[in-house]
Amino acid sequence: MIRVVSSLVVALGATTAALATAPHSDFKLSLSSMPAKPAARQARVRASFAASSSRLAARDTTSEPLFDYFNGTDLQWYGDISLGTPPQNFTVVFDTGSFSLEVPGTACGAACANQHQFDPSLSSTFEDEQFNTTITFGTGIGVDPVVGNNWELWLSFVADILHVADMTIPFGGFFLITNQTSTFAPDPMDGIMGLGPDASDLFETGGYPAIFGMLFVPETEGGAGELTLGGVDTTKFDGPLLFSPQQGSGNWALSSRGIFVNGQTASGLQKNLTLIFDSGTSNMLFTKAIAETIYGMISPDIVANPDEPGTYGIACDLIPTLPAVIDITFAGVSGQNAFNLTIPSSELSSGPFRNKPELCQTLINVSEGFNLVGLSLLKHYYSVWDIDNQRMGFAPNGF
């Protein structure tokens, strides 16, 4: 994912699921360069930052409820933010795989008719930064692969006050969506708030430690989750947190020491892999060699679906008969051993293909060039995203 950096640019990207069998978010393929902040705005940002730093010591945590966009599977959650003065309210996916904030603006009109639209004329603190760009996405809200530029946003870069739970960011930079492809239209949430590993300025300016926790509760357990900013909610998980060090920069990524399928492994799975962790992506994405090795160890009946290149499936009536436990081993931080994160057999199916209801899509899509972990795994753990210490932590959730 292309990394977008600006000291107070908050991350968000919007995606939706017209053709999806289940929800899934954004892996950005392209974004033109971020504009430099005008000198006057830089001065205001510095002044606001100094004022907030003098007023605020590191606060206690603040939390925002997350709601399950069920859509047949438990693979997407979203919550509330507000922008402007007085505040205008939006629902967003809090996405660790995104690096910029996008919400619909009134200029989007009919193309964004199903989403709330920010009206700049109603905000006394709005600033237009006079910069336009586009984003093309590599995944959508659902588990269907992207084809060409069928998930694209046209954007205008602006600034205004951002509120997330009890966190306030003055003069936060974000994008207004001015047009979008029709694939976005049915989405029940308005946008995406990215929380990448370089978001420390957001927390510092808001007066909170640069760490957050995420909980995703399955529909069968109530369908509600939680984003905790500034720390973790220890009531939401069982046992100790196990941490693994962040790999590189730009994405939340950990080093995998090996993958096991139903307790067995293969030479192609016993490699050091860098796995991107993306709370905005529904299923799993692996290179073809890894995906087909895993599938071959589950069942020879799992085959590629030529109607939707990059997807695989199996007859739906076979799903209940297949053990499909996937364990991924991760390096521990200093003082902690390596540990496993487990995807249970219940995640094997992402639901029937729309045009082949007798065939169920399986949880791994092929995407050459990167390997990515989404909600198929994350919903089974309380996850901690520690920006200050550049590490991630996990414990079984308490549900």
Interatomic CA distance for residues 133 and 141, integer angstroms: 21
Of the chain, the percentage scoring pLDDT greater than 70 comes to: 82
DSSP class of residue 50 equals H
Residue 366 reports pLDDT greater than 70: yes
Residue 38 reports pLDDT greater than 80: no
Q: For residue range 109-129, what is the model confidence (pLDDT) as tens digits?
A: 999 999 999 999 999 999 999
Of the chain, the percentage scoring pLDDT greater than 90 comes to: 64
Nearest Cα to 149, choosing from 178, 182, 117?
Answer: 182
Q: For residue range 320-331, what is the model confidence (pLDDT) as tens digits?
A: 999 999 999 999
Mean pLDDT for the stretch of residues 98-102 = 87
Interatomic CA distance for residues 289 and 366, integer angstroms: 9
Interatomic CA distance for residues 175 and 157, integer angstroms: 5
CA atoms within 13 A on the CB side of 355: 6
Interatomic CA distance for residues 253 and 75, integer angstroms: 20
Mean pLDDT for the stretch of residues 57-65 = 78
Residue 265 reports pLDDT greater than 90: yes
Residue 365 and residue 281 in contact, taking contact as beta carbons nearer than 8 Å = no
Banded pLDDT at 73 (limits 50, 70, 90): confident
Residue 353 and residue 340 in contact, taking contact as beta carbons nearer than 8 Å = no
Position 115 scores a pLDDT of 94
Q: For residue range 197-231, what is the model confidence (pLDDT) as tens digits?
A: 989 989 999 999 999 999 998 877 877 899 999 99
Cis amide leading into 352 (omega within 30): no
Residue 156 reports pLDDT greater than 70: yes
Q: Domains of the chain (ranges plus CATH)? A: 28-229 (2.40.70.10), 235-396 (2.40.70.10)
Position 87 scores a pLDDT of 97
Position 398 scores a pLDDT of 76
Residue 192 and residue 92 in contact, taking contact as beta carbons nearer than 8 Å = yes
Q: Find the helix or strand (DSSP H, E) in which 205 lies.
A: helix 200-206
Residue 236 reports pLDDT greater than 80: yes
Query: What number of other Cβ atoms are within 10 A of residue 12's Cβ?
Result: 28
Mean pLDDT for the stretch of residues 34-41 = 46
Plot region of 109 (φ>0 → left; ψ -120 to 50 → alpha; else → beta): left
Interatomic CA distance for residues 84 and 170, integer angstroms: 9
Residue listed under structure tokens 């069920």? 70
**In whole numbers, what is the pLDDT of the chain averaged over residues?**
84
- The number of angstroms, rounded, from the C-alpha of 315 to the middle of its chain's C-alpha atoms is 29
Interatomic CA distance for residues 357 and 4, integer angstroms: 39
Mean pLDDT for the stretch of residues 59-87 = 88
Banded pLDDT at 291 (limits 50, 70, 90): very high
Mean pLDDT for the stretch of residues 14-20 = 28
Query: What number of other Cβ atoms are within 10 A of residue 289's Cβ?
Result: 12
Position 250 scores a pLDDT of 84
Among the ranges given (49-63, 172-186, 234-248, 267-281), the one the predictor scored with the smallest mean pLDDT: 49-63
Show Cβ contacts of residue 142 under 8 Å, excluding neighbours closer than 6 positions: 17, 19, 20, 21, 22, 23, 24, 71, 282
Active site residues: 95, 278
Beta strands 273-277; 364-366: pairing state? unpaired
CA atoms within 13 A on the CB side of 88: 21
Residue 304 reports pLDDT greater than 60: yes
Q: Find the helix or strand (DSSP H, E) in which 291 lies.
A: helix 288-298
Residue listed under structure tokens 């006050």? 161
Q: Which residue has the higher pLDDT, 182 or 330?
A: 330
Interatomic CA distance for residues 79 and 282, integer angstroms: 16
Residue 43 reports pLDDT greater than 50: no
Position 192 scores a pLDDT of 84
Residue 179 reports pLDDT greater than 60: yes
> Strand order of the sheet with strand 372-373?
339-343, 326-330, 253-261, 273-277, 372-373, 284-286, 364-366
At position 5, the amino acid (one-letter code) is V
